[in-house]
Structure 1
Amino acid sequence: MTAWPDRRILDLFGIELPIIQAPMAGSSTPEMAIAVSEAGGLGSLPTALYSLDQAREAVGRIRQATARPINLNFFSHQMPVLDPARIDAWRARLKPYYLENGIDPEAPVPVTGRAPFDTDLCGLVEHYRPEVVSFHFGLPEGALLERVKATGAKVISSATTVAEARWLAARGVDAVIAMGFEAGGHRGNFLSDDMSRQVGLFALLPQVVDAVKVPVIAAGGIADARGIVAALALGASAVQIGTAYLYSPEVKTAAVHLEALKNASDDNTVITNLFTGRPARGIVNRLMREVGPLSPDAPPFPFAGGALVPLRAKAEAAGSGDFTNLWSGQAAKLARPMPAGELTRKLAAEALAKLGKA
């Protein structure tokens, strides 16, 4: 397939299809990245929930299984100072749920976190030399970014506003991901925390295309060929697709999450900060209805999740997603269950057919 209207991302990344599998921490697997890359798209591996050794093992498996380009994804947030008072207040807010589920509310809070990009992870990039390195929540500090670029990797990052896109372009990214408000999982915002000003993809995308000279990747609410064609028409050079891949057998998703996705609708996802302390889109559950979805009680990212660990484990064991982060975009209903590689090829073929290029 060579008849795509805009080949900039294809040529930049060395891929055949303008489809990037979104790096979804906690759900994406090395097997998914391998399948998408082998199909001609860009497979992505999120590292945020891995230890350094786990990341090495996962990237090594991918490199052994495919010679195609891959994307390694990292978070680039600044770790806040842990405030014990905030943690205690959050535990107090959750205490009724602990008692209801027979959990000791005074038990130590499990430590959870999502590590930001640092010198150790930069060493991982320098060793495995992925073709693409993507960041969420802006970019790492300049010296680390220059080390990444020195490996030859193409650098991309998410922008949720035109201002963020300009900020990224000014710092030398090779492409910008325009992340619409429809997208599932963590928002990529980094210049503002005001969720009331976040922009939908169809308004955001053409304005980002007009604002920066680098290629733009569209993300948010794209789950079928119609979305791909629409994004290309608005100036995108490629699309990033997340939720549609959550139905693939290569995914690692809790049973309660998959069940929630099967019953998802256009209007039952909201932005919440309860599960990590940072705004993210997920399917509404009991905790979001009763506490949030956006609550000032939640500790800052990434410390909110620890107190929810025992509640989530107890609920999931009983088949409930009441305390699970059920990340999903707004177009989950359009997704079709099939292997990740097959989905990638099918989406591309259907999009080309709609473009009259097949």
Structure 2
Amino acid sequence: MQAILDRTRPFCDRFGLKAPILLAPMAGACPPSLSIAVANAGGLGACGVLLMTPEEITNWADEVRRQSTGVYQLNNWIPDPAPLRDAAREAAVRQFLKQWGPAVPPEAGDATPPDFKAQFEAMLAAKPPIVSSVMGLYPPEMVQTLKSRGITWFANISTVTEAKAAEAAGAEVIVAQGSEAGGHRGCFDAEAAERTQIGLFSLLPAVVDAVKVPVVATGGIADGRGVAAALMLGASAAQIGTGFLRCPEAKIAPAWADALSRTLPEDTIVSRVFSGRAGRSIATGFVKAATAPDAPVPAPYPVQRGLTAAMRAAGAKANDIDRIQAWAGQSAALARPVPAADLYKELWQEASALLA
């Protein structure tokens, strides 16, 4: 226990935390209310800004700072290369999607994320204590800017090789993400995301042994047992995403929150059917149909995201789990429908009891 405290206490002191538990930055599922609750309980709030305009980033950060301790991270994807478009493939996907929602016009596939550089400038202006990356590494000039502003860079990785590259590029904390994680996993190589599936129990100690900076564990952690196991394996903190989604402050669709409670590890699946990038979700009716042998091959990211946008919006409006983009880690059923502050405290109490 003392060895673990010697590792976690400096990490917590450095970032103003009461316990070594972080909220995962989930794009589209990190409203200010969730980070406010986690931060005020003594944890690290978070926001995945991938889909947010610079103004939305500013507004999110302003609200969290006004109503909390202001301890949070802002996370963004490193942009993928421009996708190779295939009109015939996209037409097949649009035809398939007619079964699940409104008709999809050809131009839906033209949708692109907000401008990455403008988002970065908005993150800098928000002055967060931490900025994190996923799907790659910030370029050297951005890393230097972060360091000059006193902003700590957390780099999400999915392999030991990626961890070493992140440390060499200047990352001050490595976030090791196991394949159990819900949503999009932080693989640098999009094409390898489905082939390279490394569980957290194997990845974490290997990364801890390979780098000199602190390591945060994430992916499949949703209760005190998972937190304790991560710290035993060498992590300085544990990061939790799906485990917080049933908290009322997460504000996800009721059908999604309810489905999480019934989702066993084998009820999740990694596919590209929502966005064109590999992501783990509940195996809903749409996901099963879209991954069937006779289903069309998904378009690349972000084209597929644009094509499925109307269906996903209709599903959320109708509270229809079969059409909702229901991301879920393999430990989804451990998520609890309690206030986020209470959950945060319970997680650390459970982990502390086990470690003692």
Return closer, same or farther for 1:226/1:310 CA change in 2, 3 Å cut-off.
same
Aligned match of 2:230: 231
Return the alpha-carbon distance in structure 1 between the equivalents of residues 311 and 287 of structure 2.
14
Return the alpha-carbon distance in structure 2 between the equivalents of residues 224 and 29 of structure 1.
22
Return the alpha-carbon distance in structure 1 between the equivalents of residues 53 and 213 of structure 2.
33
Aligned match of 1:312: 312
Return the alpha-carbon distance in structure 1 between the equivalents of residues 100 and 296 of structure 2.
24
Residue type at the aligned position of 2:60: A
Return the alpha-carbon distance in structure 1 between the equivalents of residues 96 and 64 of structure 2.
44
Aligned match of 2:30: 28
Please tell me whether the aligned partners of residues 20 and 238 of structure 1 are also in contact (alpha carbons under 8 angstroms): yes
TM-score of the superposed pair, with normalisation by structure 2: 0.91
Task: Check if 1:73 corresponds to 2:75.
Answer: yes
Aligned match of 2:5: 4
Aligned match of 1:90: 90
Q: Give 3-state SS (helix, strand or coil) of 1:74's partner.
A: strand
In the TM superposition, 1:149-164 aligns within 5 A as: 149-164=147-162
Offset, 1:62: 1.0
Q: Give 3-state SS (helix, strand or coil) of 1:12's partner.
A: helix
Return the alpha-carbon distance in structure 2 between the equivalents of residues 302 and 93 of structure 1.
14
Please tell me whether the aligned partners of residues 53 and 119 of structure 2 are also in contact (alpha carbons under 8 angstroms): no
Which deviations, in whole Å up to 9, do the C-alpha atoms of 1:49-80 show, x marking residues without a partner?
Answer: 21111111111111111234211111112341
Please tell me whether the aligned partners of residues 75 and 137 of structure 1 are also in contact (alpha carbons under 8 angstroms): yes
Offset, 1:235: 0.4
Please tell me whether the aligned partners of residues 122 and 148 of structure 1 are also in contact (alpha carbons under 8 angstroms): no
Aligned match of 1:45: 47
Residue type at the aligned position of 2:246: Y
Aligned match of 1:177: 175
Offset, 1:152: 0.5
In the TM superposition, 1:211-226 aligns within 5 A as: 211-226=210-225
Which deviations, in whole Å up to 9, do the C-alpha atoms of 1:278-307 show, x marking residues without a partner?
Answer: 111100122322222798822222221222
Return the alpha-carbon distance in structure 1 between the equivalents of residues 137 and 52 of structure 2.
19
In the TM superposition, 1:267-306 aligns within 5 A as: 267-292=266-291, 297-306=297-306
Residue type at the aligned position of 2:219: G
Return closer, same or farther for 1:228/1:264 CA change in 2, 3 Å cut-off.
same
Which deviations, in whole Å up to 9, do the C-alpha atoms of 1:136-192 show, x marking residues without a partner?
Answer: 112221112211221111101111110010110111101101100101010100046
Which deviations, in whole Å up to 9, do the C-alpha atoms of 1:2-57 show, x marking residues without a partner?
Answer: 99342242133232210110011111111111111111111112211211111111
Please tell me whether the aligned partners of residues 275 and 304 of structure 1 are also in contact (alpha carbons under 8 angstroms): yes
Which deviations, in whole Å up to 9, do the C-alpha atoms of 1:68-118 show, x marking residues without a partner?
Answer: 4211111112341462x34x52232341441x4684455752754434631
Residue type at the aligned position of 1:206: P
Return closer, same or farther for 1:191/1:313 CA change in 2, 3 Å cut-off.
closer
Aligned match of 2:207: 208
Please tell me whether the aligned partners of residues 272 and 293 of structure 1 are also in contact (alpha carbons under 8 angstroms): no
Return closer, same or farther for 1:217/1:104 CA change in 2, 3 Å cut-off.
closer
Return closer, same or farther for 1:277/1:104 CA change in 2, 3 Å cut-off.
closer
Return the alpha-carbon distance in structure 1 between the equivalents of residues 349 and 296 of structure 2.
46
Which deviations, in whole Å up to 9, do the C-alpha atoms of 1:313-338 show, x marking residues without a partner?
Answer: 44445542323221000001112111
Residue type at the aligned position of 2:23: Q
Aligned match of 1:251: 250
Segment of structure 1 superposing worse, 207-216 or 248-257: 248-257
Return the alpha-carbon distance in structure 2 between the equivalents of residues 102 and 298 of structure 1.
16
Q: Give 3-state SS (helix, strand or coil) of 2:265's partner.
A: coil
Return the alpha-carbon distance in structure 2 between the equivalents of residues 177 and 74 of structure 1.
14
TM-score of the superposed pair, with normalisation by structure 1: 0.91
Return closer, same or farther for 1:12/1:256 CA change in 2, 3 Å cut-off.
same
Please tell me whether the aligned partners of residues 36 and 42 of structure 1 are also in contact (alpha carbons under 8 angstroms): yes
Segment of structure 1 superposing worse, 71-80 or 221-230: 71-80
Aligned match of 2:131: 133
Q: How many pairs are equivalent? A: 351
- Over the aligned positions, Cα root-mean-square deviation in angstroms equals 2.3
Return the alpha-carbon distance in structure 1 between the equivalents of residues 105 and 345 of structure 2.
51
Please tell me whether the aligned partners of residues 134 and 186 of structure 2 are also in contact (alpha carbons under 8 angstroms): yes
Gaps of at least 5 residues in structure 2 are: none
Return closer, same or farther for 1:73/1:327 CA change in 2, 3 Å cut-off.
same
Task: Check if 1:340 corresponds to 2:340.
Answer: yes
Offset, 1:208: 0.3
Gaps of at least 5 residues in structure 1 are: none
Q: Give 3-state SS (helix, strand or coil) of 2:274's partner.
A: coil
Task: Check if 1:58 corresponds to 2:60.
Answer: yes
Return closer, same or farther for 1:103/1:301 CA change in 2, 3 Å cut-off.
closer
Return the alpha-carbon distance in structure 1 between the equivalents of residues 134 and 100 of structure 2.
35
